[in-house]
Chains A and B, each alone.
Chain A
Amino acid sequence: MARAQKPKQSRRPQAKSLKQNNLRGFAKRQSLKSQRSSKYSESSDVYEYQPENVRRSKVKLQLEKDELDGARRDISGSEDEDDGPKRNGLRPRLVGENDDEGGLGSDEDEEIDSDEAFDESDEERFAGFNFSTKKRSLQSRTVPLIDLNEDEVELEEAPSENASASEGEDSAADDEEEGDPEDFIDVLDMIDGKGPAESADEGEHTQKEERPSASKARVEGDDVPHLEDEDEDMHDEEDEGISSDESEEDESHISPMDDAISASGDEDDDVGTSLHDLQSFITNLDAGQKRKAPDDEAAPTTETGEARRQKRRMLKERTEAGEENEFAPHRGATKLNLDDLLNPLASSSSNLLSLKKSAKILTSISAKNQTLSAPLPQRTQERLDREAAYQQTKEEVDKWSATMKKIKEAEHLSFPLQAQPAGRTSNLELAAKFKPTTELESAVDRLLKSAKMREEDIAQTESLKMNHLSVEEVSARRAELAKMRELMFRAEAKAKRVAKIKSKTYRRIKKKEKAKIAAKLGEGSDDEDMNEETRMKHEVERARERATLKHKNTGKWAKAMRARGDLDEDQRRDISEMLSRGEKLRRRIQGIGSGDESEEGEDDTEDDEEGAADRIKASAFEELAQLDKGSEGEEDSGRKGKSIFEMKFMKDAIARDQQRAKQMADDFVREMGESNHEDDEDDELTGGRIEESSGATIERVGGRVTYRPGAQQSQLRTVNSLASDTSSITLRSNDLPSDVARSVTPSATSPIPEKLGIATEAPNPWLAPRQDPAKAVPKKHEIAVSKDSASVEKSKNKLRKKAQKHEEEQSKARNDAAVDISMSNVMTLGDNSSAGPSKPKTRSQSGNQRDDGDDDSDVHSEVEEQERLLDRKGKGKANGVKAFEQRDLVARAFAGDNVVRDFAEAKRREMQEDAPKEVDTTLPGWGSWGGTGTRKAQPKPHLIKKVAGVDPTTRADYKKAHVIISEKRDKKAAKYMVKDLPYPYTSKAQFERSMDIPIGTEWNTRVGFQRGTLPKIVTKPGTVINPLEKLL
């Protein structure tokens, strides 16, 4: 029976491969092979086909145990060789063997003989014999088939021979018998290269066993998708190498073994007969085991069939009671388990583990599937292979996806993409590589070498020197060196910079500086040590100079020079030197004197500035006063004394002189005495008010009348008013000076506080400008008046008018002072009118106001002014309204800005413009009667042009008060419009933004321009661009 299984086993791989949806490629197989070879490397042999043989031997071993009662063949000894001889011997007998052996039952002896007789060479022979064109794989594959056949034959024999053979075994054998012929045919077919045609029975049988093996193969195959099916191998042998075939064979040989095991494990339950099979198998096993040794011995000797039969019987008996071991497990009520078979192997090796693992799967699967599916048709299988291959290629190609994505998304590509970056060579690199080639170079090198001036030599010597020094010393030295170098460098840089300056003035200044420094040094020494000596020396020099009169052109030499007509250069220079010296001397003489004076003055001022100033002023005034007195005294004395001075013209002249002197004195007083005579002001102000009303002063001194504008003159007039009124020139004018002198002092001081007063009213931008009467009279006025006396009346009129105005204002001011001042009035007052109330106010409140003025001296900022204003207002009103006033102020500032109304108006205008309208295009005088009496005819309808505008109700901004949406469409602009949003942009804003930014140099920085215009793909002309390469 086991023999009967054998053909199945051997064919199993093929069938299995047919059935498998093998996505497994040869790669997988190769890995399998390698695994297997490693597995079986233990039983190493010198023979080429050792692994397969070993495996097969194993299989055989089991099978023999399984089926044979007697040990018909050697398991132990020459297993390797035993296949070949068998084949060889059997081949001719293939057809007729059944009959022969049935009678004889001594085949095994023959087999044994043949086993021993033949060597490995038989395989080759076999190859030559049968499958000359095909490769060994096929042969080796077919070998077991043939064997199997034989075995089956033997099997058939066995029952007949074996009286003690169980019925179950017989039945099994019968089953096999049925399959046998087909099997046979099958093998032949296979040899021919056709696909195996299997009977239903056999198919069933094989399926059972194949499934596990297939699954096992799958387990081993892990994940490599395409395992090439053996069937394919069978058919296109030429493609496959020998090695792969071998590997396949290995596989095929391994699987039978597993199958056998699995079959023994599982089939018991399924098939009723199988249990019996197993039993017989076990018994046989035992027998085989026992008989191995005797067999070997008996091998050479030929035994009779009876004797063998006898032996068998004996063995049979023995096995039934046999001891337990791996080949004969205990026969209890329990089923035979796979573990029972594997247990003995536990100690053997590591490959047991894998075996167990696979066995486990086998058991689990075989339990479920009893029938195995038919193998796929070749075409389908190939398609699956292709599918798998395509998947793999896809995976391979997909490794490029990251690179491709990067290239696609790059903003800038410079081809070739995989160009080798050309490294720059540094100086050091060059120096290191340098070797003198030319004569000159070598000569230089030699020189350097001899002088030990080469880089490395220098470094060496330096390092040698450095060796003696400690670290601190070295660092200090280095630091010092660095410092020196730095300083030198700086000095050099500075010198260079200075040397570049071309300016003459700079040079001159520089020279002077130098001289000064030198002099200073000399002086310093003078002052301190050589005081006496140097002074003496200087004195001597000076004396000599004076003696030689070198500085004067009165000397003898100078005279001689002058006498000479033409001078040469040296002489001229000498002369000029002499002159300059004289000049210097003169200057020194004068300069020393003035310098002394100034020094004195300075000293005084230094003592106590203010006190001294006061004192000086006081003394000056005293002097003036004395002068006045003196002049008066003179006058008196003069009147009494000399007659000539009594004469009128003389008196006039004197008066004029005096007047002039007075004026000068006045000026002086005015300048100096501002601060001193404030007290006087009060009196003067009250008195002088009336006079001030006339903006200009009319001065009459001597025979001439002078009109002068300005405040200060008005004061003059206050005193002189009486005199001027007389308008005639009398002797009384003689006493003018005294009057003037008296009046001048107060009047001169008066305008200043007035000015201050004005200053206090300094301009507030929010307020209307106020006219300053003092300033209001321009200088022009003065000139005009003085020029033509005829215009005196005019000016008088003017003055009068002004005076009147003034009076009015004053009255107003008086009223205002009494009444509460409304803010609006203050704010809206225009030009002059504002001056009225404010000025009087100042006057009226002069008392406290002046205090303010005095405190803040003469400067008043705008802020203060405003504050004061507010204060003043505050007197009239409540203080809390300030904020409101501010707001009001702003409101007033923007008064008249009717924005909303303007907008509405603009919109209305827009709508009107766009509205549909009719335009009369009639040309007057054309197509109508002219002349007098013609009435204007109605415009002809064809001349009325209708402009289809936009109806106000259909406007986009209709009833939207806050917007004006223009309905005009600019045809010219439409030309530049884009109809649709261009492709890459997703929004209008995006597109517009991109168009907004210009890219030209005019609107961009240089770098920005370059970046903005960089093309996406840059290729260099003349550069080969190679396709992308896989970089390892």
Chain B
Amino acid sequence: MLIGWFDRVVLHTAARSLEVFPSVIAVDQKGLRTTNMKHYEVEILDAKTKEKLCFLDKVEPNATIGEIKSMFHRTHPQWYPARQSIRLDPKGKSLKDEDVLQHLPVGTTATFYFRDLGAQISWVTVFLTEYTGPLVIYLLFYFRVPFIYAPKYDFTTSKHWVVHLACMCHSFHYVKRLLETLFVHRFSHGTMPLRNIFKNCTYYWGFAAWMAYYINHPLYTPPIYGEQQIRLALILFLFCQIGNFSIHIALRNLRPPGSKTRKIPYPTKNPFTWIFLLVSCPNYTYELGSWLGFTLMTQCLPVAFFTLVGFIQMTVWAKGKHRSYLKEFRDYPPLRSPILPFVL
């Protein structure tokens, strides 16, 4: 007899009173009222085949999409939540993990459509991999590891001091990026499609090898205007590296840890952030400046190509970011351009 006769009386009475008086207040684990709460039924269909994949009953109205994804994952273990796209319409936009069931335009039987986003990989992993490559690869060329240049040059060093400077700048740039990935950036999305890592690494590693080959080549020709050109280039490079870092810190401080809030970035006390007055994505502006500096420093056509391709990609991203700022915030400062003040 684990419970005494008195407890059984109490329990029995309580149970009966719930039947007779259903308005007795009941509360769930979150401390939210669950009395008289209509539980939802959720069915999840495949967006393409409309096949019924999952049926969940007794889902609480305050359940989030994230929780529903976890439940779906339990019935289909191969689809972990990060690779689920849940939407109201087969061709519609993905719902956010934070969306609450009862605030969505659905009846008590909610129908969602599922699309498999494919294998996912975390942003942090991708960034670390794609940035470590150039760091290491450039050094292989700098130290003239065998099988790259003619054997008589193996493990020799360049006689031009700009080549040593370039190596320091390139390495500094990627170390900075790695540290920022680990300690500064706050990512909106946890993951991206797995195939991106192959695409991204090919880009970064390929270009790094191509640039490094020529800069560290035994037949490398230093800049035409010599020390003047290199000094100017170095100043530009360092200025933009500090600028880029300042923007990353400013953006980090907009967002409390672990959150995904989005706010309009504004200039801070740091003069390097005053560029926010004119530009939506100054991190890209400074990045362009850094690589222009590096191009000027090395006077190397492949570096110019890399700068150009990077600029095109960053412009696409900046325009997209600018557009979403304008859509989300009605009071967005009108003077700002996406990436280049007044121009682009």
Q: Are A and B bound to each other?
A: no
Which residues of A come within 8 Å of B, CB atoms?
none
Which residues of B come within 8 Å of A, CB atoms?
none
